[in-house]
Amino acid sequence: MGIYVITGGTTGIGAATRDHLHRQGHRTVNLDLKDGDHQVDLSNPEQYTPVLREVAQAHPEIDGIVTCAGVASHFPDTSKILDINFWGTVNVVEALRGNLSEGGRVVVISSNSAPQCSKPELVEAMLANDREAALTLAAESSGHDCYSGSKHAIARWVRREAPQFARQGISLNAIAPGYIETPMTQAVANSAEYGEAIKQFVASIPLGRPGTREDIASLIGFLLSPEAHFIAGSLIYADGGHDALFRPDQGP
């Protein structure tokens, strides 16, 4: 039986992942703004940093980390999109990295929207850990650019950090979901700004349906399992063929 720390485990993909792990007999520690085992506001480092210390002290050895917490492009405060999606992922992983047992697993959530950011300087600011510059750029950027940029930065952070994690016996990977039916994506679909675009987006999925929470939870479960021990530093698209449709000539 393992112990896994999950962010955003109350709803959506995080909740499905918790259920998946519980069925396998594992324990989970849910970090969420609402109904979590530890209440955390991932937009506020001053609030969640001491909570992460508590988690590290309470669980000196953990088997894995899954970062499912995130907000979408419709979120009204663009700066918080970066804080939650990027720094709320990186800071959690780094804070608990020393607690991971050898053979541990880390799975973070990127997006198949990651390649769509039109502001590369926004991504570079996040990767340089220049929060002030990134938030300045966010103030003049669209929600879509901040969302896709934060997910792009996460994917590149994984590629940069995965070799060092692997040398410590820990695998670090990212999943890039497409459109998944969750409360977060339903809120975007219901918004006046993005609703029509979402309808067209869903209609264009090659497999002919939106993804489910369980589709992604099953993939996360595999990446956390012993069968995935040789997978490290990968970004795996789980989007019904959408990225292949959008970028058919994108090679390795």
* Residues with a known catalytic role: 147
Taking CA atoms, 173 is separated from 156, 176, 233, 237, 246, in Å, by 11, 10, 5, 11, 23
Structure tokens at 117: 């950011």
Please report, for residues 59, 79, 156, the alpha-carbon distance to residue 128 in angstroms, rounded to integers and kept in the order given.
30, 16, 11
219-245 exposure pattern, b = at least 16 Cβ within 10 A, e = fewer: bbbebbeeebeeebbebbbbbbebbee
Sheet bearing 62-67, strands edge to edge:
38-39, 27-32, 3-7, 62-67, 100-109, 171-177, 235-238
Burial class (CB within 10 angstroms; exposed 0-12, middle 13-18, buried 19+) of 9: buried
Name which of 10, 100, 102, 72 is nearest 197 in CA terms.
72
Q: Taking the CB of residue 123, how many other CB atoms lie within 10 A of it? A: 24
Q: Cα(first)–Cα(last) distance of the chain, in Å?
A: 37
